[in-house]
Structure 1
Amino acid sequence: MVCAVIFPLQTSKQGDPSLILLEFQGNFQSSETQVQNLKMGDITFNNDKATLVVGHHRIEGKKVKLPKPFAIIRKRPQEGEEMMDTDTATNTTSSVVYDTVTILKEKYVFSQRPGLIVQESLRGLTRIGG
């Protein structure tokens, strides 16, 4: 299973970005060494279906309900209050807070093989097997 993080172009009305869980069967390969902010393709959502276009390939997925809700949390240092760390040798103060970003109840599953997108002007130029 390949998990992908999708960063939205717009934020929701509350100001937090909305997150979507995508599940792919297989893997993605890239010649790039740094893939952290690499644009993979374009995705569109219509009701309970999603379509991902990567290069000349189209992959279609469907929305399914998760068996158990999935919590997305963010770790950050606590501000304001000072708490003593248990390590007395360093005498440092540190505290960590975990914020719940969202609870996911659905995911999009892409279980089929990608289909090839052929330009309309090139369709019908080759015939296989006949």
Structure 2
Amino acid sequence: MTIIVKMDDGGAEPWGIVELQGDLESREGHGSLQSKFVGDLHYTTQGGIPTLIIGHHILYGKAVNMEKPYAVLEKQTSDTDNGVQRVKYVVKAFVKKKLIFKVRPKPIIANVPN
């Protein structure tokens, strides 16, 4: 069996992965967090440390290069003249970096004047 892998004409984009330790739960109960807003990702001005703000919690992480990069593939199918389905995979992106947040989140406490 031949598997065709093709580079996208525009070149593959660099992507990243956010790795969290533990569970991330929604207030709305159980369900998928896919396509939902989770939090804000920032980098500190001194040192460029990744900071993730989720609700009233802040997490500090670190950016690392992956030992073995991942390729993000998109499966494309097409029919040939004799009715056989042809499958090819197009490389859409490469994942070379990841942000690791493995320290417990810290609560954000606002200073409210009396």
Same fold (TM over 0.5): yes
Q: What's 1:38 paired with?
A: 36
How many residues of Structure 1 are paired with residues of Structure 2 in the alignment?
101
Segment of structure 1 superposing worse, 61-70 or 110-119: 61-70
| RMSD of aligned alpha carbons | 2.7
Higher RCO (CA < 8 A, seq sep 6+): 2
**Code of the aligned partner of 2:74:** R
Q: Quick one: structure 1 residues 100 and 25, their matched pair in 2 at CA, closer, same or farther if it must change by over 3 Å?
A: same
Q: How far did residue 24 of structure 1 move?
A: 1.0
Residue 23 of structure 1 aligns with an amino acid whose one-letter code is: E
- Cα distance in 1 for partners of 2:21, 2:65 equals 17
Structure 2: gaps of 5 or more residues: 1-9
Could you tell me the percent identity over the aligned residues? Answer: 28
TM-score (norm 1): 0.64
Q: What SS does the aligned partner of 1:35 have?
A: coil
Which 4+ stretches in 1 moved above 4 angstroms?
Answer: 14-18
Q: Is the 8 A contact 1:83 1:94 kept in 2?
A: no
Amino acid at match of 1:110: F
**Correspondence for 1:104:** 95
Structure 1 gap ranges (5+): 1-13, 85-91, 126-130
Are the equivalent residues in 1 in contact too, given 2:16–2:96 (CA < 8 A)? no
Q: In the alignment, residue 105 of structure 1 is paired with which amino acid?
A: K
> How far apart are the structure 2 equivalents of 1:71 and 1:39?
25
The answer on 1:25 being equivalent to 2:16 is no
TM-score by length of 2: 0.71
Whether the aligned pair in 2 keeps the contact of 1:53 and 1:59 (CA below 8 Å) is: yes
* AA partner of residue 27 (structure 1): D
Does the 8 Å CA contact 1:69/1:105 hold for their aligned counterparts?
yes
The answer to which structure has the higher strand fraction is 2
Residue 89 (structure 1) aligns with: none
